[in-house]
């Protein structure tokens, strides 16, 4: 009887600890004032998977939406774009980007950043944006989301967090690109799990 109680207790503790781990990954949503949330994204393909995710996330978060654009656009052909981006992604090189009209990061407390997964990492224009604005973003609550061709998160969340060692980083999420239009509920939950609007 005693043995069974101890075993039961250990099992309950294990389940509880498991829950804690899950809880830690999704944490409590942060409180954000309306108008103090921004969504900033880069999207390349004609399907606009990351654009779709970013638009939905911005709508749910009542956020301003901004697009990162490469100074010199990538080749519109998939294969050619992959070849063009490969050395940039592998070398963590910074692809020059255009100035984003009307963006004043000082106005925002929470910033969501959206990128396609390119060669396992963030698209170079996103890396450029983060590096160019690292000090303006430093004191904010940050969160990255990405869409991918099936590879999942890969190095995106890790490398994003590495750029901001002193910031509050909310859990990242990956969405499968070709399913993103069927993932509206998951996109909404992505927001509500992370931010509560005051
Ligand atoms: C240059 C390039 C590299 C890519 N590398 C990966 C990858 O390593 N892993 C992956 O799962 N998908 C990869 N993809 C697929 C995209 O992440 C996926 O199609 C994404 O949803 C596209 O987003 P977008 O429509 O916003 O451009 C790559 C696509 C391109 C163009």
57: CATH: 3.40.50.360
4 in any annotated domain: no
Residue 1 lies in a domain: no
pLDDT mean across residues, the chain? 89
What's the gap in Å between 83 CA and the centre of ligand 1? 12
Residue 20 lies in a domain: no
pLDDT per position as a tens digit, 53-80: 999 999 999 999 999 999 999 999 999 9
The CA 144 to ligand 1 mean position distance, Å, reads: 15
Q: In this structure, is residue 149 part of a structural domain?
A: yes
Domain count, the chain: 1
Report whether pLDDT(23) > 60. no
pLDDT at 17 over 90: no
Give, using CA atoms, the residue closest to atom 29 of ligand 1.
118
Residue 10 lies in a domain: no
- Alpha carbon 107 to its chain centroid, in Å, reads 20
What is the chain's Cα-based Rg? 19
Domain residues for 134? 30-197
Ligand 1 binding pocket (C-beta < 6 A) is 43-45, 47-51, 78, 81-82, 85, 116-120, 147-151, 177
Please write the tens of the pLDDT for every residue from 153-168: 999 999 999 999 989 9
**Residue 145 CB contacts under 8 Å (≥ 6 apart), including other chains:** 53, 54, 57, 112, 113, 114, 115, 172, 173, 174, 175, 190
Query: Residue 164 — φ and ψ, nearest 5°?
Result: -125, 65
Residue 184 has pLDDT above 70, yes or no: yes
Q: In this structure, are residues 63 and 89 in contact, taking their beta carbons and an 8 Å threshold?
A: no
């Amino acid at each position: 009887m005693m043995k069974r109680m101890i075993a039961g207790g250990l099992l309950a503790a294990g389940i509880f600890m498991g829950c804690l781990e899950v809880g830690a990954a999704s944490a409590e949503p942060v409180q954000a004032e309306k108008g103090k949330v921004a969504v900033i994204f880069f999207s390349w393909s004609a399907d606009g998977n990351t654009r779709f995710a970013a638009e939905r996330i911005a709508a749910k978060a009542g956020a301003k939406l901004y697009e990162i654009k490469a100074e010199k656009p990538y080749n519109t052909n998939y294969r050619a774009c992959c070849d063009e981006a490969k050395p940039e992604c592998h070398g963590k090189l910074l692809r020059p980007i255009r100035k984003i009209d009307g963006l004043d990061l000082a106005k925002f407390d929470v910033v969501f950043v959206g990128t396609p997964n390119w060669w396992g990492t963030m698209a170079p224009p996103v890396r450029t944006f983060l590096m160019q604005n690292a000090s303006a973003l430093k004191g904010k609550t940050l969160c990255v989301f990405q869409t991918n061709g099936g590879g999942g998160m890969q190095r995106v969340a890790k490398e994003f967090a590495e750029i901001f060692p002193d910031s509050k980083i909310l859990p990242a999420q990956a969405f499968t690109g070709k399913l993103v239009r069927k993932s509206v509920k998951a996109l909404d939950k992505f927001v509500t799990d992370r931010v509560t609007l005051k």
